[in-house]
Structure 1
Amino acid sequence: MDSARFSYAGRNAWSGLLVGIAIAAFIDEAVFHQILHWHHFYDKSTTEVGLVSDGLFHAFSWFATVGGLFMRADLRRRHALWPMRWWGNVLIGSGGFQLYDGTIQHKAMRLHQIRYVEHVFIYDLIWNVAAALMIVIGLALVVRARVPSRVKKAGTP
């Protein structure tokens, strides 16, 4: 591992986190808001307000996408992209955003529910367990990327 990639480790992390947040936000917006019509970003008002909130949420996800990918392109140009660390942080960003959405926005703030049905618990459980799994897998990739190779060349002590 060359020193340039180590010196850009933080930038790899931030780029991956931004892209991960953007992916989770985009999937939430496209699938649950637009295709399935399960909820809007803000459901405590009229449908029109819900649609405006969805538009602002969608804009946020695109700003995160553009910012994260510009950082990634800069890392590649500098030969400082650390792919395993980057992908690990993509998963941490996606899972973290999803867990925040499922716990804070759905339950604490009650901005919206994942779906308005009688037994919402199963939806919440699947949503939050999937988020936790993404975080755990992402952390494993980041930790694995930090561990230096233990393979030694032949003839070295």
Structure 2
Amino acid sequence: MHEKKTPDIRSNIISGIFFGIGLMALIDEIIFHQILQWHHFYDHSTPFIGILSDGLLNAFALFAVVLGLFMFADLNRRERRHASTWVASFFIGLGGFQLFDGIVNHKLLQIHQVRYGVEILPYDLAWNITGALLLSIGIVLMIRARKQRQAG
């Protein structure tokens, strides 16, 4: 008889968060930095430094995505995955990155803005509200996942 293994909740959370952070960083980098060319990760220097900072952000994002996926694959291999916890963590990673970027990078450190040459408030609101919405979805899903685990 095949015994059901206990999910590794901590690893599910870390894996989902890393994957969410990495994916959102890649979405930001690809859409806003490369396709739309609204900003670079660091905008207060030469174009070379701006592009270099984008490359470093890309490297970080790819590392986070790969780490999250390797951890997810290991959880599956060991039969210790808890899907609802992982999905909740994924949304927390997405929203957490978006809010961190919008609040810390855009406003506190001011290393770049969402876009230049326009009224920034609508862009800031859209950026941060999207991040807060994704983070809220993750928190609600995490509460549901915890209840599901407790119900057994």
Report the TM-score range of the alignment, normalised by the length of the smaller protein.
over 0.9
Question: What is the alpha-carbon distance in structure 1 between the residues aligned to residue 33 and residue 60 of structure 2?
Answer: 15
Give the counterpart letter for 1:59 in structure 2. Answer: A
**2:37 aligned residue:** 37
How far does residue 48 in structure 1 lie from its aligned partner after superposition? Answer: 0.8
Match of 2:123 in 1: 123
List gaps (5 residues or longer) in structure 1: 152-157
CA RMSD, 1 decimal: 1.5
Aligned to 2:77: 77
Describe how 1:1-157 pairs up with structure 2 within 5 A: 4-5=6-7, 8-148=8-148
The 1:51–1:13 alpha-carbon spacing in structure 2 relative to 1, beyond 3 Å, is: same
Please give the alpha-carbon distance, in whole angstroms, between the structure 1 residues aligned to 2:150 and 2:55.
49
Letter in 1 for 2:93: G
Deviation at 1:150, TM superposition (A): 9.4
In the aligned structure 1, how far is the partner of 2:31 from the partner of 2:106?
17
Task: Give me the whole-angstrom Cα distance separating, in 2, the residues matched to 1:92 and 1:117.
Answer: 31
Amino acid aligned to 1:146? R
Matches of 1:17 and 1:128 in 2, distance apart?
A: 18
Structure 1 pair 115–141 and aligned structure 2 pair: CA distance change class (3 A) = same
Please report how far the alpha carbon of residue 80 of structure 1 lies from its aligned counterpart in structure 2 after TM superposition.
1.0
Percent identity between the two aligned chains: 47
Higher CA-based Rg:
1
| TM-score, normalising length: structure 2 | 0.93
Deviations 1:119-157 (A, max 9, x none): 110000010001001011111111111113898xxxxxx
2:5, 2:79 within 8 Å by CA — same for their partners in 1?
no
How many equivalent residue pairs? 148
d(CA) in 2 for partners of 1:67 and 1:148?
26
TM-score, normalised on structure 1?
0.90
- Cα offsets for 1:96-141 (capped at 9, x unmatched): 0110000110011110000003311000001000100101111111
